[in-house]
């Protein structure tokens, strides 16, 4: 997709889903109970969850099903070739857990999709230029069509740890 961005001169934006795992419902018939958090007086009480939480084994799968449903409701069907790829009439999106990269010829089409996702209940952070994704910083020179991928943040953290 990054190569197509350069060749086709596509606009790109990134977004993320805030508190992603808290959006998805638990599957029907799957009951999960948790103890009350520290600080509550009634230690014998438990909560029955209706939504997934971070740390549950089923949370990533439940969130993925939630995301596929929301993307398809916005006219972005999941690709049969790559389950992380969603292709609409004007926008293409790659989704990796709660991080999303969008491409379109017109940035306004990406913005319209983001609005639709928010209307569907997806707590999508403000979409920004795709300058970084999954710890990789992307720098594009529009004059030379050069796209550089850098991981200086990761390198700096490794050096600091030494």
- Look at residue 80 in the predicted model and tell me its pLDDT: 94
Taking 70 as the pLDDT cut, the residues of the chain under it are 29, 43, 126-136, 154
- List the CATH code of the domain at 2-161: 3.30.70
Would you list the domain boundaries of the chain?
2-161
- Look at residue 92 in the predicted model and tell me its pLDDT: 96
Measured at the alpha carbon of residue 25, what is the angle toward residues 67 and 75, in degrees to the nearest 5?
25
Q: What is the pLDDT of residues 72-82, one digit of tens each?
A: 999 999 999 99
DSSP string, 107-161: HHHHHHHHHHHHHTT--BPPPEESSEETTEEEEEETTTTEEEEE-HHHHHHHHHH
């Amino acid at each position: 997709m990054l190569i197509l961005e350069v060749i086709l001169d596509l606009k790109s934006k990134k977004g993320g889903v805030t508190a992603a795992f808290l959006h998805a419902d638990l599957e029907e018939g799957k009951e999960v109970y948790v103890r009350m958090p520290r600080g509550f007086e009634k230690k014998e009480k438990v909560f029955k969850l209706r939504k997934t939480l971070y740390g549950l084994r089923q949370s990533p799968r439940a969130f993925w099903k939630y995301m596929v449903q929301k993307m398809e409701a916005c006219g972005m069907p999941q690709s049969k070739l790559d389950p992380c790829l969603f292709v609409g009439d004007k926008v293409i999106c790659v989704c990796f857990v709660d991080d999303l990269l969008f491409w379109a010829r017109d940035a306004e089409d990406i913005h319209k999709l983001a609005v639709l996702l928010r209307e569907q209940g997806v707590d999508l952070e403000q979409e920004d230029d795709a300058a970084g994704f999954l710890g990789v910083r992307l720098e594009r020179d529009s004059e030379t069509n050069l796209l550089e991928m850098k991981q200086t943040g990761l390198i700096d953290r490794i050096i600091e740890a030494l």
